[in-house]
Structure 1
Amino acid sequence: MTPRPTARPRTAGHRIAIGFALLLSLLSGAAAASGDVELSVDAAFRQLEDAELVGSYEDYRRAFKALGERLDANDAAQQERYRRLGCWMQPEQSLDQINTAIDNATQWINRAMARDDRLGQADYLLCRGWFEEIAGNYKPALRDYEAALAVAEGAEDRRLIADALSARGELLALQGDLAQALSDLQVAHQMYHLIGNRYWTAYTLSMVANTYRRMGDFDRAKELLQEVIEIYAKRDDKESADSTRFMLALTYDDLGEYDAAYAIYRDMLAQESQQGLERAKLGTYIAIADNRLRAGDVAAATEALDRAEPLLDPSLDALNLALWKLFKANQLVAVGDHTSALQLLIEAEPVVAEQDQHRYLAWIQKLKAEVLGQLGRWQTAYQALSEYQRTHEMLLEKLRDQTSTRMRIEFDAARKDAENRALKSERDVRQAKLQYLEERKRWQGLLLACSVVILFTLALLAVRQWRRSHRLRHLAMTDELTGLPNRRSIYQSGKETLAQCRAEGDDFSLLVFDVDYFKRINDTWGHEIGDRVLQKISDAAASCLRKHDVLGRTGGEEFLVTLPSADLESASDVAQRLCETIADIDLRDVADNLSVSVSVGVAQCQKGDSDFSHLINRADNALYRAKDRGRNCVALDPEST
């Protein structure tokens, strides 16, 4: 796979497409012997394919054209190799050009299949997938990447396997499947490193960093991106460094360092304006609008959105257009134009939903609920808020799953690294033994010493891996702030306890409660005080429970209590005791004039409950009834009475 021929098409909050490390020079000089000419052409091919020399994209195109003029028209192998390069060099400035590129790639795929050229087939599949991705056709693109991976694996070509994993990983990350994306990109990064491809090794490391950013590990992403920028700086590869700086700016936005991000966006916008990169400018303007809205600078966000509007192409940039409408709606809300904002949100929502951009979908649904409320359309606002809550809960669950998977992937990577080191040590031992046979007794002592060191090292690695595995499992099942079981843990134990109670014919109930007006506490006293309040509530709630009851934090200010062997009356007593105890918490050591209360929903398991989640839904409904009654009270699920 050659460097992908596009000027960085971007959308705010998601990935930057490929920045190119490019070829400057082709071989020159007097004509040489036939063998030397062939070697020179082969070297030029490798430089283009591996992106090992640096220059602008136009330099790359000129080098590609110059190489074509030097090829032997009768050499079928050279012509096919050149055609594979040319697939990636097709123009892609309009939807018509992209569709033409897709059609051409399809023809080349069919020809490669007819002559059983598996390497060509894999490369053309990747090329077609890339143009499908540029056009926003993500499902066909993913199918092509996966087909290319299968062909490359069948041909046992490590370079094409790495290319396919890298392409699939980027697309999966864009679509939100971050765990699988991280796995693909890490394997691709390792394979590029093993085959010695420096450009793609650095590039996939930047994609790994961007995936960590999407997972919420911003500090890790920042560290890796700065490492990649240093690599490109040493290669004097400014274009690739700038692409990576854009990802770093997105990371600064996520860290709340808005001015640092804004400085990078402005610098890149100046370069893009100078070079006439209109599509790149569109993505940068939208990123600036996002950045300025987060920073509260509505005037600068408005200017960026106005400058981006003429650059929008609905046929080519559907997602960019939808994001522009989202940010424009946000800006209109800030100036009080709720009617216009609502129309833009309605137009943007289906596009964002279709492209599985759930984070932006949640933003749209929440903002739409607020706008509808401002317009007095309360019933529709409630529906929008319910949709937002479902999307938000799905995002939280997905993030927890991805975090757990990421920990497992990192653990497996560390284990494989230890295994590789052990294998290398074993090879060293075998070489030492061969040398021992040649030099006899002189190396006997050295071999024994090496064996002892290796065994000791392996033992230390095994102990370290066991400890890390134990620690990771504990972290994955525990809420960091309160020390209580987290959502995954309390759901797992609740399902098991419910199954046991049903098997024994015993009662089972649960409580769902959350903190009343908790957002007001955060807004008034700050998030640090809010965290201390949650810790106080956790301690007080735990003191109210029976011996076998289990308390867990399910997210934000929400908690869940499982009550084995408890009918509705017993559960109601526990809930009332919990409600009163929390209302009596002394918070003077936290903040002056601060008090707290909770609303509690109670539900008892019935025969009609299909599973644990159904019982939680009934308890949630009871919780909403408690809030409707004025909060700081207990409400029973009507199906349980």
Structure 2
Amino acid sequence: MSVRPASVVSTWFGALGLSAWRILPLVLLLSLAGVAQGAGEIDGALARIEQLAGRQPVEAQRELDAFLKRWADLDEPSRVRVELIRVLIADAQYRSDDVLAISDRIRDRAKALDDARIRTLLEHARAGAFYELGRSDDGWAALQEELHQAERTRDDDLFAQVMVDRARYLIRRSDFEPAAEALTDAERRVHGAQAGAEVAFSSANLARAIGDWTLALSSYQAAYAKFAAVGDRTGEADSLAGSGEALRQLGRFSDAIGPLNVALRLYREVDDKDGEALATQALALVHAGRNDPSLALSLNAEAIEKLSRLNEPSQLAQARVDRAHLLILRNRAGEALPLIEQAGPVIREKGDLQSQAFFHQTAAAMLAALGRFREAYEEMEQFLDTDHRRIDQLVSHQLAAQRGRLESERLSRENSLLRTEASGGQLALAQATRAARLQNIVLALVAIVVVGALYAVWRMRGLMRRIARMAETDALTGVLSRRHVLELGQRMMNRCRRDGRSCAMLMLDVDRFKDINDRYGHVAGDRALRAISIALARCLRPEDQIGRYGGEEFAVILPGADAKEAGTVAERLRTAVQTLKPDWAPGADPLTVSGGIAIATDEIADFTELLVRADQALYRAKDAGRNQMVYHQGEAMLATG
């Protein structure tokens, strides 16, 4: 015979001397306590994983997977929080497309819950994703919604995070004054350790953007200490990478290696491919600064390979320009040409004046090494113009950031004074204090402008001197450039005419030089030209000048030399080249030169005309069988060899 459950319960309770109606409330209380304990455990676990998501995303994903295996049946608020954690993990790993895809699925559900904290974190991640994807308008809209929700929470740390996000966008738009105001507001409001670390890191990025590398270094180091205290591995890696770059910019290359190596290890731990690639490239530049080009090229190749697999066109283009620069330093300009051609469109479109200036400077050096001097000169002119604008922009940005900090501090002090006035009625004292502080601010701004202007002038003068030296010297041989030969020749010919002295001009051309390039390659040809230029320079008188006129042609200016003395010098130069040991390539034959000699006369007013006469005599020497020096037609003849 079957017994109904109610009978069993009544019998059992009766055995205990208790009635069913008395024990039922106790059963309900125990059940509710179990449910409450489970809910509390779920909330605690989700809160812990949520905090871990931004610091150690790989570990957070493992804990989330374990949590979902244990707690399969969740209520709607908990399910939304699980999806939020997935968004935060994707945000920490810079998976912008995943951030937007997941957040689009749960935005309406989060709105239905009307949890301001969840909606703030969701819009924070969306703003970051839009920032990485370059969608500024969408990102700014997400920032506005993030600010609105953060104000609803009345949580100072969330508000500080909004200010950090706002500053990041403003820095990208080069609006440094409001960016500095936002970060100063964040510093004033922040309380938590994690939020404080984010504020310190953003302050370092602002200092980096305006070129204040000393401030950037100290700020990155402070941010690293804060991230380490809360166990944020991604933050630690980013701060160490920033410290390494700041040390490199300050010329402390050996000190930069340690932070960058640790940053690389941390990026691999958190599976941050972008950070790993950029840190590898930074290490390549550090080793280049330490005069270790082989290791620098190896690391650069590794960085380019990693960046090629990622959607980072601007970073890839910059890495290619850096590689071209390293190859030029190794006299491998031919290999640098395709890299410059690949990177050029991206660098020009990027709008970063510092990257553009370095690109034009590298392109100029490469073209000069390849003998394309006109194009090199055009690139150098673009470099000078771009670098001038970069310096002006840098000073402007630094002043804007300083104004932003001062304005934020001024507003904060004014608010504090207004509160004091309302409570204490000391309006006159507050006005006097404001006037004095404003006067100090004005004086500080004037001092910054003056110092910035003086610094810009000093830098520009140094740059102009360096560029002038580069323009006057041939990059391959170290003798005078063609342009400087023309300018100096005219001046020296005019001076000789005023002093009643004669002036002569030699045009030299290496015989059959094309055979060297065809048989042994352009590297051997470059070595030969350098050796010939050294041999020629050693045979000249103290006041004579020699320059590379183009290709394998050399121009020699002989102030005060008459026809006989010019012939003597010419023969000395021819003999020096003929007896030069051909060590520029194994098995190479000795080289010879042919030359034309022209003497300045009263009817020659332009140095170019004298140069043309010498060039005509040179062609006659070539036609006569090479390895000889010939005077211009109408002058005394000399044929040797």
**What are the Cα deviations for residues 344-366 of structure 1, in whole angstroms up to 9, with x where unaligned?**
11211222333333311221112
Q: Distance in 2 between matches of 1:67 and 1:144?
A: 34
* Cα shift at 1:274: 7.5
Change (3 A) 1:186 1:378: same
- Corresponding residue to 2:341 among 338, 341, 346: 346
Partner of 1:471: 443
The answer on 1:327 being equivalent to 2:322 is yes
Change (3 A) 1:423 1:232: farther
* Cα shift at 1:233: 4.5
The answer on 1:143 being equivalent to 2:137 is yes
**What are the Cα deviations for residues 223-252 of structure 1, in whole angstroms up to 9, with x where unaligned?**
333333333454465663343222112211
Q: Is the 8 A contact 1:225 1:248 kept in 2?
A: yes
**What are the Cα deviations for residues 21-40 of structure 1, in whole angstroms up to 9, with x where unaligned?**
xxxxxxxxx99543444344
Change (3 A) 1:282 1:342: same
Deviates more, 1:156-165 or 1:80-89: 156-165
Q: Distance in 1 between matches of 2:98 and 2:233?
A: 31
Change (3 A) 1:325 1:131: same
Q: Could you tell me the percent identity over the aligned residues?
A: 18
Q: Is the 8 A contact 2:58 2:271 kept in 1?
A: no
**What are the Cα deviations for residues 422-475 of structure 1, in whole angstroms up to 9, with x where unaligned?**
466569x58xxxxxxxxxxxxxxxxxxxx88x986x578536513421212312
The answer on 1:291 being equivalent to 2:286 is yes
* Cα shift at 1:339: 2.5
What pairs up with 1:218-367 in 2 under 5 angstroms?
Answer: 218-235=213-230, 240-270=235-265, 279-367=274-362
Letter in 1 for 2:141: A
Letter in 1 for 2:390: L
**What are the Cα deviations for residues 467-503 of structure 1, in whole angstroms up to 9, with x where unaligned?**
421212312442468599999xxxxxxxxxxxxxxxx
* Cα shift at 1:71: 5.9
Partner of 1:433: none
Partner of 1:603: none
**What are the Cα deviations for residues 531-576 of structure 1, in whole angstroms up to 9, with x where unaligned?**
xxxxxxxxxxxxxxxxxxxxxxxxxxxxxxxxxxxxxxxxxxxxxx
* Cα shift at 1:58: 2.9
Letter in 2 for 1:143: D
Deviates more, 1:35-44 or 1:216-225: 35-44
Partner of 1:402: 397
Q: Is the 8 A contact 1:175 1:357 kept in 2?
A: no
Q: Distance in 2 between matches of 1:328 and 1:217?
A: 26
What RMSD over aligned residues (CA atoms) do the two structures have, in Å? 4.3
Letter in 2 for 1:474: V
- Corresponding residue to 1:206 among 188, 197, 201: 201
Q: Distance in 2 between matches of 1:483 and 1:270?
A: 39
* Cα shift at 1:322: 1.2
Q: Is the 8 A contact 2:83 2:102 kept in 1?
A: no
Q: Distance in 2 between matches of 1:298 and 1:242?
A: 25
Q: Is the 8 A contact 2:201 2:223 kept in 1?
A: yes
Change (3 A) 1:417 1:168: closer
Q: Is the 8 A contact 1:479 1:485 kept in 2?
A: no
Partner of 2:75: 75
* Cα shift at 1:46: 3.9
> TM-score scaled to structure 2, two decimals?
0.58
**What are the Cα deviations for residues 202-242 of structure 1, in whole angstroms up to 9, with x where unaligned?**
12211112211221222322333333333345446566334
* Cα shift at 1:132: 4.5
Change (3 A) 1:202 1:31: farther
Q: Distance in 1 between matches of 2:455 and 2:247?
A: 29
Give the 3-state SS of the residue equivalent to 1:478 in structure 2: helix
* Cα shift at 1:254: 1.9
Query: What stretches of structure 1 of length at least 5 have no aligned partner?
Result: 1-29, 431-450, 488-512, 524-628, 630-641
Q: Which has the larger radius of gyration?
A: 2
**What are the Cα deviations for residues 254-277 of structure 1, in whole angstroms up to 9, with x where unaligned?**
222111112222343355567876
Q: Is the 8 A contact 1:338 1:375 kept in 2?
A: yes
- Corresponding residue to 1:519 among 456, 463, 466: 466
Partner of 2:89: 89
* Cα shift at 1:54: 10
Give the 3-state SS of the residue equivalent to 1:89 in structure 2: helix
Q: Distance in 1 between matches of 2:122 and 2:355?
A: 33
Q: Distance in 2 between matches of 1:411 and 1:151?
A: 28
Letter in 1 for 2:330: V
Q: Is the 8 A contact 2:127 2:142 kept in 1?
A: no
Change (3 A) 1:270 1:475: same
Letter in 2 for 1:466: L
Q: Distance in 2 between matches of 1:423 and 1:353?
A: 50
* Cα shift at 1:162: 4.2
Partner of 1:103: 101
> TM-score scaled to structure 1, two decimals?
0.58
Q: Distance in 1 between matches of 2:243 and 2:169?
A: 19
The answer on 1:387 being equivalent to 2:382 is yes
Change (3 A) 1:421 1:172: closer
Q: Distance in 2 between matches of 1:239 and 1:514?
A: 42
Partner of 2:434: 462
- Corresponding residue to 1:216 among 196, 211, 214: 211
Q: Is the 8 A contact 1:125 1:145 kept in 2?
A: no
Q: Is the 8 A contact 2:361 2:379 kept in 1?
A: yes
Change (3 A) 1:242 1:277: closer
Q: Distance in 2 between matches of 1:273 and 1:67?
A: 25
Change (3 A) 1:320 1:481: closer
Q: Is the 8 A contact 1:369 1:382 kept in 2?
A: yes
Q: Distance in 1 between matches of 2:463 and 2:235?
A: 50
Q: Is the 8 A contact 2:127 2:139 kept in 1?
A: yes
Q: Distance in 1 between matches of 2:455 and 2:324?
A: 40
Ranked by relative contact order (alpha carbons within 8 Å, sequence separation 6 or more), the top structure is 1
What pairs up with 1:496-511 in 2 under 5 angstroms?
Answer: none
* Cα shift at 1:55: 7.2
Change (3 A) 1:407 1:151: same
Q: Is the 8 A contact 1:206 1:224 kept in 2?
A: yes
Change (3 A) 1:406 1:233: same
* Cα shift at 1:331: 0.8
Change (3 A) 1:235 1:516: closer
Q: Is the 8 A contact 1:372 1:381 kept in 2?
A: yes
Change (3 A) 1:321 1:187: same
Q: Is the 8 A contact 1:125 1:147 kept in 2?
A: no
Q: Is the 8 A contact 2:238 2:275 kept in 1?
A: no
Change (3 A) 1:329 1:300: same
Change (3 A) 1:205 1:423: farther
Give the 3-state SS of the residue equivalent to 2:315 in structure 1: helix
Alignment length (residue pairs): 438
Q: Distance in 2 between matches of 1:313 and 1:203?
A: 29
Q: Distance in 2 between matches of 1:384 and 1:220?
A: 33
